[in-house]
Amino acid sequence: MTLTAGGGFSDRAQSHTTHVVDQLGLAIVAGEYPERAMIPLDPDLEEMFGVSRTVIREAKKTLIAKGMLASKAKVGTRVQPSSEWNMFDPDVLRWHSEQKTPGRFVADLNEIRLIIEPAAAALVAERAGPEEHARLDASCEALAQAGGRTAFAMADLEFHKLILQLSDNRFLQSLGDLVQAALYSQLIAEAEEAREPGDLARSVEKHRAIVDAIRAGMPDRARACMEKVVTDAPAGGVRRAG
């Protein structure tokens, strides 16, 4: 197991708890503790992290609340099936995005994006006015002027977040905040996949097509253009720069 030992007792208990939650969460997502497997007993975890039993119990409560663990008296604490995990929890999203081989996570993320983002683009086409159009133009310009692949990925993320924000739907706006960490990691990988000099330029044009459809007040066209951005992926599951 690749867990890092906890800090000394001079640190605050909350800092200890956060560290234990983070390390156990990462280990569970990485499969170091498979689904339905038992995690170590409290005394073993205390020794592993160098923390008190109170810290371990609080950390386990946090992971139980995220749907990742289940505890039963006189039995122990077991890893829940991944279908029970709260995938909209910011920590759970981050732990998945930090995996070197995210596998199904990327495919699932693209599926939920395909459900949400085209619908959001259609709503923006129906509701946006000149001020919103100007913000979208500025976002596309930031994408075009991005210096380097990391900057491009950040500008790409901001564009997609802006679409969700401008939908004027509070649920869509909240989803934009929740998935930003995971989406940023994905977009970094996508930008790195762009092999040809023109790949990023073509990505900018696809985003401009979304903005043009929004400005023209064409919801169906905006939906279709966003669908192309989200689904333009190689077979391996990680999109090229979108």
Q: C-alpha distances in angstroms, 54 versus 9, 14, 46, 61, 65? A: 13, 11, 9, 11, 17
Q: Domain check: are 120 and 69 in the same one?
A: no
Spatial separation of the C-alpha atoms in residues 93 and 97, rounded to whole Å = 6
Q: Domain check: are 209 and 181 in the same one?
A: yes
Q: Domain check: are 170 and 63 in the same one?
A: no
Q: What is the mean pLDDT of residues 166-171?
A: 93
| Confidence at 18, pLDDT banded by 50, 70, 90 | very high
Q: Domain check: are 95 and 179 in the same one?
A: yes
State the chain's mean pLDDT as an integer: 85
CATH number of the domain bearing residue 48? 1.10.10.10
Spatial separation of the C-alpha atoms in residues 32 and 169, rounded to whole Å = 39
Find the domain containing 47 and state its range. Answer: 13-84
Number of domains into which the chain is organized: 2
Predicted pLDDT of residue 242 = 47
The structure tokens 């979304």 sit at 210
Q: Domain check: are 132 and 47 in the same one?
A: no
pTM greater than the 0.75 cutoff? yes
Domain boundary among 84, 118, 145: 84
